[in-house]
Structures are given as structure tokens and as C-alpha cells.
Amino acid sequence: MIRYCQVCGCELTTERKYCESCRKARKREYAKQHYRDLIESGGVKKRYGMTTCVYCGKEIVKNRPDQDTCFDCYKEHLHKTVENYNKVKRVSRNGKVLMVGRSVLLDLGFKLGNLVVHHIDENPDNNTLSNLMVLSKKNHASLHRILEKNWSLLSKDSNSNLEDCWDTLRGQLTTAYLETKGANVIKITDIGRSAAELLNEENIYIFDPHEEGSETMHQAPKSD
């Protein structure tokens, strides 16, 4: 017996009443309605309290401690140096497809493990060593939250020199972020040109911009 989704009418391949997309949509709507009912009944607001969106002024519930924009304004004003990351150049390495920056550091002999490679100027096509930073996924997300928040504040009072102002501010914010990490920020030159052991996820690794060769992309033969 052929079964059909009770919402969109598409043919089902499982014994459920709804297809996967409709099931998720119903689940999201249920969660939203449950939360609206909670507020209307005087229940305690979840997450991190209330704030107002810096763009539209609408009162919102904070889903994280530093949230300052509503979702619609966040999407509208999100700063993107790259419109489509799927079109960013990648390289094939040992059966895997990697961003060029990561491949560059693997070519130098570094064992990255779960660490990620961050592009300081947010341009994944700029793979000069001085533009690369190696850090944990947690630290990477934390840094980007700081950048996103300050971009929101800067773009609110946008002007013709917005991108130039952001280039300067982004560098200052990144420097300030590294200063907060203190002893956990390691210069690559302090551990040599290669690291036989896996890099420590507690640390953040940077290249000295004045180091010889740091302004050119490494082109050494690939090796693990």
C-alpha cells in the first residue's frame, strides 16, 4: 500500500504520517508555539533574558549571552567576504578535499588533528602564512562571534568607507582576542618549521608576519 504525506502529499518511503521535511517543519512550529504559550502564561523566559535588536529595535530573547540582533536582521546584515564557500578553491589530498590554507600547513609538516585554519582577513583565497591562524573549533567560533558582533555595530552606522574601516577594526579585534589568550598563543617559529607531534588544541598558533617567507604561500611537495 502506497502511503502519502498528510501535509504535502508526496509519496512516503517509511511508515510515518509525514515526510522528513514536513515532520521537521511541524516540529519547529510546535516548539515555537510551545514557547509562545510559555511566555503568555507568565512562564520564565528561557535562554539569557531579553534585549533589543541593534538594528530594528525589536525586543528579542537572547539565545546566547552576547546576542544583540534578531534573526532577520542578523541574516540581512551578516558580513560575508565570500558569497559562496562551495566555489572557493580546494585541493585534493590523500583522498580528501581540503581548503588550500589547511593543505599549506600540512605541507609544512604540522599535525593539525581537529584544529582549524582561520584566515585572519576572512579571505580564504589569501593563503600567505601571515594570514593563517591555527586554533580549536571552540576558539574559532568565539573569535567569529566577536567579529560578527562588532561588524553589526559598525555597519549600523554605515558609511562609504565601511570596508576600509572594517579591515582596520578586524585586525585590532583579532589582536585584542589573541592578547586575552596570553600564554596560549604560540608563534610557529617557537616550535620550528615542522611539528612531529599533534598540535595542542589548547593553544592558538600564528605566524610572525616578519618571519622570512611568511608573505608567500608555501609550495613545498606534499607529504604527511
Instruction: Please state whether beta strands 90-93 and 50-52 pair in parallel, antiparallel, or not at all (unpaired).
Output: unpaired
Nearest to 191 by CA among 180, 181, 174, 203: 203
Handedness of CA 132, 137, 141, 142 (dihedral sign): negative
Check: CB of residue 91 under 8 Å from CB of residue 127.
no
83: which 3 cell numbers?
558569497
Check: CB of residue 218 under 8 Å from CB of residue 104.
yes
Please give the Cα distance from 205 to 105 (Å, whole number): 11
- Residue partners of 49: CB distance under 8 A and separation at least 6: 61, 62
Instruction: Give me the phi and psi of 218, to 5 degrees please.
Output: -65, 135
Instruction: Please state whether beta strands 96-99 and 59-61 pair in parallel, antiparallel, or not at all (unpaired).
Output: unpaired
The 8 Å CB, 24+ separation contacts for 187-190 are 188/129
Please give the Cα distance from 124 to 117 (Å, whole number): 10
pLDDT in tens, the chain (224 residues): 788 889 999 988 878 889 989 999 999 999 888 878 887 887 766 678 889 988 888 999 888 887 888 888 888 877 777 777 778 889 998 888 999 999 999 988 889 999 999 999 999 999 999 999 999 999 999 999 889 888 877 877 766 788 888 889 999 999 999 999 988 999 877 776 555 688 899 999 998 765 545 454 443 333 33
